[in-house]
Structure 1
Amino acid sequence: MSSTSTSDVSSFVDLTQHEIEALKTRFNLADAHTHQRQSASQDKIVGRLPELWYESEQNQQSYFEAQFIDAFFRLHRQPTARTMGRTLLSYSASVATMVAAMYLKRREMTVSLIEPCFDNLTDLLRNMQVPLKPLPEQTLAETAGIYDGLVANVETDAIYLVDPNNPTGFTLLAQGLDGFREVIRYCVDHDKLLMIDFCFASFALCDPEIGRVDVYQLLEESGVTYMVIEDTGKTWPIQDAKCAMITASRNIHEDVYNLHTSVLLNVSPFVLNMVTQYIEDSIEDGFESVREIITQNRRAAEWALDGAVLEYQTPVVNTSVAWFRIKPEHLTASALQAELYDSEVYVLPGTFFYWNEPSRGERYVRLALAREPKVFASAMERLREVLKRHEQL
């Protein structure tokens, strides 16, 4: 158990500070990074790491960048993006988001950001002094009402969506291209910059009820001004080695590129080479190694926790996190999180996800699912013991 006290935990100012503390905890269900073990085919990639290292020394940087981008967009079924040649690579989604925030700041743009969402988006934009307004997720819930809902709710220069959303699992992809088509139509008609975070999109691919469509084709054909951020960090268990991407519409690509080069030169060719092997492995196995772990742990969480204290919130897309509503009125997310922390289980309170109205988040907690199943099952037992105390109140 960490020496950090419950009172210290309650003073944390963002979710990342909670996640840092959770890394010291026996049952870390906080961060959505991948902590499960390798599948059989992934273990073979680990065995080839020396080979991949020397291979990375023998070829040019551009070779590994092209190989990675080709594989990533093949996996994600985005043939338009695969051939555009406008995707810029960075070490993390946070770096890519920082570049996007620099673009917004330089143009003194205001942003309507989806709520709830992971709060580092809020922090990055605010730290860059970009004015924010909340865009309630329910504004996008019904295709027929999206356009009018945006007219009623958006007074800013840009719209920033996360799809699938973290923590709720909401996605416009459930409506094929129809939901995105309405958002894009609004942005074109009202001259808005459209920003989309697709960092959890791999789980839409994993979900047989959802899948992915060629969003980039729709973006390109519409003429909308856009920036799209994607990431590999939430998908494969590779010790936080990852690559993020930012792709911009042609009319702003040069400006984004000039900002991007002020931040970094390149992503490690070894990291690109290694991550590409994991992408190809998931193409080969149809994402089975990723889907199996998440499905197993989601079922375990729902079975163990959905009851008198917590109510499982069924997502549109089964991402690598689970979102639960707290049912007893006397119990808050902050109090439950602190109690669980004392029992060596770390979950995230919903408060920070509701970045504009934290009090709404007191009704929710989020659990990460990308964990080794045996460890996750033990965490569920410990968590269930704590919940039993409240079932009798």
Structure 2
Amino acid sequence: MSVMTRLDDKEDITQHEISALKTRFNLADAHTHQDQSVTQREIVNRLPELWYRAQGQSQYQSEQEFIQAFFTFHGQEHALKRHDEIYLVYAASIAMHITATYLRKRNMRVGLIEPCFDNLHDLLKHMEVPLTPLDETLLQSPTNVYAKLQSAAANVDAIFLVDPNNPTGTSMFAKGADTFVEVARYCKDHGKLLILDFCFAAFFKAAGGSRVDAYAILDDIGTQYIIMEDTGKTWPLQDTKCATIMASRAINPDIYSIVTSVLLNVSPFILNVVTQYIRDSSDDDFESVRSVLDVNRAVARRHLQGSFLNYLTPMVETSVAWFEILRDDVSADDLQAYLMAYEVYVLPGKYFYWSQPQAGQKYIRLALARKPEEFEQAVETIALALENYHG
């Protein structure tokens, strides 16, 4: 089948996402493609003003306004005590590349959560960092996570976790901070570097919750860490975004030297724009983001839950939906290729299971950050396609 051949030759999720941009219904990438809210449209109308404002203030002022707004919005005030050691980069993948460079320079072995978004694995693989999978189920209970890590992470130097996890929504913080505290304690006691990808952490707030101050916990325990955060999966910014990277004091000088070898600064105009979106969400309690995701998630469940697909309820609802394929005779690759004939592009689960791709053939991922009317058309099309599926 020509479609199947064309899809199977992709090496990673990003290559799929590039192809998906050409389809009518792109449910592949988790970037934000929904409309602007009323107040966000007002920000767009102010773009000339924000341009000249950025031009008229120092780079440092633009950076610090963004840092103060972002970390306050997320409830991570402890990090602001070292606000000059929060480094800004123009994409989360750059922060990950900086982290991978640090790991490679020190010949560190890494335990990487599985499943997870595949470019984490790919960046580390390309830097020739030795990897061991850590099943995300290790992190589901505070009562035995320490003991489980003693076994699973004994032979690694660093533990790399994503929270909430993409694509499953698994989180150490879903029921408070206890599990995270145990992970941090284990890393401190056993000399492990803890690397945290918090790029989906805004969805704690989108789900109506709040974030634990992770930086305060880590510094109180004395855990060595590198933490990455992002704006690109949260607001409808057309990829006008900024990511952050911060490290514990002991390793900060080493991280800083890698940061400065990569870039000088993020555009002050972009920082001004993104800061306005953060403040807007502070004012509306994240309603503009939350409402779109809630509507689309409900539509996906209503149209797709059935004998073919099963919606897997996450610990933390994010901007993606993770579905299990219930038919044993249909793989994720099969289903993706079939839906392409209906001009719908979804992601197969195999790329998230980086050490055992076959385990991911039971799952597909749908992106939710879309215009609700277009998203409903997409899932209605999927539902019709599934009714007509004959294998």
Q: TM-score, normalised on structure 2?
A: 0.98
- Quick one: which amino acid aligns to residue 172 of structure 2? L
Alpha-carbon distance in 2 for matches of 1:6, 1:22: 14
**Matches for 1:311-322 after TM superposition, within 5 Å:** 311-322=310-321
**Matches for 1:1-393 after TM superposition, within 5 Å:** 5-85=3-83, 86-154=85-153, 155-208=155-208, 210-390=209-389
Matched positions, count: 388
Deviation of 1:10 after TM superposition, in Å, equals 1.2
Alpha-carbon distance in 2 for matches of 1:83, 1:377: 45
Secondary structure of the structure 2 residue equivalent to 1:183: helix
Alpha-carbon distance in 1 for matches of 2:48, 2:259: 31
Maintained 8 Å contact 1:173/1:211:
no
- Quick one: which amino acid aligns to residue 72 of structure 2? R
Maintained 8 Å contact 2:3/2:337:
no
Secondary structure of the structure 1 residue equivalent to 2:52: helix
- Quick one: which amino acid aligns to residue 196 of structure 1? L
- Quick one: which amino acid aligns to residue 188 of structure 1? K
- Quick one: which amino acid aligns to residue 238 of structure 1? L
Alpha-carbon distance in 2 for matches of 1:185, 1:275: 35
Deviation of 1:174 after TM superposition, in Å, equals 1.2
Alpha-carbon distance in 1 for matches of 2:259, 2:341: 43
- Quick one: which amino acid aligns to residue 359 of structure 1? Q
Secondary structure of the structure 2 residue equivalent to 1:35: coil
- Quick one: which amino acid aligns to residue 181 of structure 2? R
Secondary structure of the structure 2 residue equivalent to 1:169: coil
Secondary structure of the structure 2 residue equivalent to 1:362: helix
Question: Which of structure 1's runs of 4+ aligned residues deviate more than 4 A?
Answer: none
Maintained 8 Å contact 1:6/1:341:
no
Deviation of 1:5 after TM superposition, in Å, equals 4.2
Alpha-carbon distance in 2 for matches of 1:301, 1:287: 21
- Quick one: which amino acid aligns to residue 184 of structure 2? I
Maintained 8 Å contact 2:145/2:179:
yes
> What does the per-residue CA deviation read over 1:340-368, in whole Å, with 9 as the maximum and x for residues that have no partner?
11210000000000000000000000000
Deviation of 1:389 after TM superposition, in Å, equals 2.4
Alpha carbon RMSD of aligned pairs, Å? 1.0
Deviation of 1:335 after TM superposition, in Å, equals 0.2
Alpha-carbon distance in 1 for matches of 2:284, 2:156: 43
Maintained 8 Å contact 1:6/1:342:
no
Identity of aligned residues (%): 53
Secondary structure of the structure 2 residue equivalent to 1:144: coil
Give unpaired runs (5+ residues) of structure 2. Answer: none
Maintained 8 Å contact 1:80/1:216:
yes
Alpha-carbon distance in 1 for matches of 2:158, 2:385: 43
